[in-house]
Amino acid sequence: MQTTVVITGATRGLGRLAALDLARKGARVVAVARDPEKAERLRAEADVEVLLADLARPADVRRLAREITDRHEHVDVLINNAGLHAFTPRTTPDGLPEMVAVNYLAPWLLTRELLPALRRAPAARVVTVASEAARRHGGLRLPEDLTETVPFTARGSSAHYGRSKLLGIMFTLELARRLAGTGVTANCLNPGFNTTGLGRELRFAAPLEKLLTRLSIGDPARGAALIVALAADPAFAGRTGGYYSVPGARPIRPVPPADDPGLRARLWRETERLLDG
């Protein structure tokens, strides 16, 4: 039976490489994109289904989930890959900090809305792309960090980005606990340093990416391969609650406070209250 894989952020960088690889391996790939032109280019490269959505808007995430479940009886793999590092503070039309909305709230909500379809699969996997940037999170305040929009500089953006990735790790570990024994596994990964989309909001990003590529620094194939392994490798069947990194899919210990089960559970409750309130 053909495996159905949903992957966000699939038109560039790691997501594109992973989507193309999974399609070549015979999966039915449902690629979620924001930009219609990039979506068409991806469709021209491989036999994939493309759905458009603005992951910064919870209402659009819910619509996306309904569209997926209307089209597909079950989902075997959900890859939460889409991410954003903004170098200036931006607020979504719903009043949310954009990096938190895209990097954390969207994966949380899309996963929850697709859980019935994931449970209908014989064995399903949720894979979330995190980052070791989480180690520079600068502290966590709940529930304030889910909604507060505060000014920051390009240099100060690292802590906000790291915090949004920390939330993704905490979400994954709590999801794994909640899904224990259901046949649905949840793991996250650090794809390492990658040149694709590197600081794309910075004016010098394009020449820097070309230079690093020539020097063979930040090869995105490594990170994409880890995404594909967690999504499809039989070696990871049944394995849940892990945080893995390149090289070699090695397990790593999450940075505090991601190792606090009580705080992970509180984060889940606060997120639920925010999105359902």
Q: Element (H or E) spanning 190, and its range?
A: strand 184-190
Pairing outcome for strands 242-245 and 49-52: unpaired
Residue 243 falls in the annotated catalytic set: no
Rounded to 10 degrees, the C-alpha dihedral 233/82/39/54 comes to 140
Distances from the Cα of 65 to the Cα of 72, 153, 210, angstroms: 10, 34, 36
Greatest alpha-carbon pair distance for the chain in Å reads 50
Q: Minimal CA–CA distance to 82: which of 25, 8, 137?
A: 8
Strand-pairing partners, residue 244, are 189, 251
Burial class (CB within 10 angstroms; exposed 0-12, middle 13-18, buried 19+) of 270: middle
Collapsing DSSP states into helix, strand and coil, what is residue 131? coil
Catalytic choice (104, 161, 243, 244): 161
Structure tokens at 164: 């949004």
Distances from the Cα of 161 to the Cα of 87, 99, 212, 250, 275, angstroms: 9, 7, 22, 23, 21
Q: Which residues are catalytic?
A: 161
